[in-house]
Amino acid sequence: MEHATHQLPGLMTRTEADLRQIFLRQVEAIPAGERIKRCIQCGTCTGSCPVSYAMDISPRQLIALFRAGELETVMKSRSIWICASCYACTTRCPSGIKITDVIYALKRTVMEKGYESKAPQVQVLARLFVDNLMSYGRLHEGTLIRKYYMKTGIFKLFGFVPLVIKMFETKRLALFPKKIKEHKSLSRIIKKAQEIEMRHVPEKLEYSPEFVGYRGLGEMKLESRKGE
């Protein structure tokens, strides 16, 4: 595992500080997101996760690294992309931390900062999914899978031939994507939502040691929102 080096304990690099700000903004948007402060490092999340065996950094370690000012290490992990969002960890966390949502927040932070990930195929799929939805308003699975394998390994596409035949035979194959009627209005909604999203992104992150340091966690209000 890589470790960012800090000159002094309690200080963090500029990159780390930026990441922390973006991530904390994402966490604040999660109902009861501030519970991340309550992690007792018990490892119930890792133990409950059906895919933690395949992760390079376990869910418990993700939170530990965040607290230790090592978000950059987390950003480069493949773990967050293996999470299939089954919510087993969230359900069992004794501190009520919404770990699945925290991982979503980490994913968004990576996407926002444009980090190269160890599992680029997930980002490819996520982007294609979004494109697909933007173009038609509904998901056309055939187009999504075809485009995905064209980008990640075209030979695999041939492996799908028997499946496609079976789907055709059982009348389960939609050959062409279909646009929804109010496609234009959906595009307008999406465009507006993107604008709004950008509104919340400060053009230049202000560097305030108090906010970004380890005290950064203290800047989040504890239990200020209603969450179940």
Q: How far is the CB of 156 from other proteins (least distance, A)?
A: 9
User: Which residue number, 40 or 163, has a Cβ lying nearer to other proteins?
Assistant: 163
* Gyration radius (Cα) of the chain, Å: 20
Q: How many residues does the chain have?
A: 228
Q: Which is nearer to other proteins, 6 or 138 (CB)?
A: 138
d(CA 71, CA 145): 32
Both tokens of 45, joined, read 């999340």
The rounded distance, in Å, linking the Cα atoms of 93 and 222 is 17
Residue found by looking up tokens 């294609």 in the block: 128
Binding site for other proteins (CB under 8 A): 26, 29, 31, 50-51, 54, 81-82, 84-88, 90-91, 98, 100, 104, 107-108, 111, 119, 121-122, 125-127, 129-130, 133, 137-141, 145, 148, 162-163, 166-167, 170-174, 180-182, 185-186, 188-194, 196-197, 200, 225-228
| CB closer to other proteins, 67 vs 151 | 151
Tokens of 75: 């950003």
Shortest approach of other proteins to residue 63 CB, angstroms?
17
Residue 178: exposure state from Cβ atoms within 10 A (0-12, 13-18, ≥19) = exposed
Question: What is the closest distance, in whole angstroms, from the C-beta atom of residue 192 to other proteins in the complex?
Answer: 4
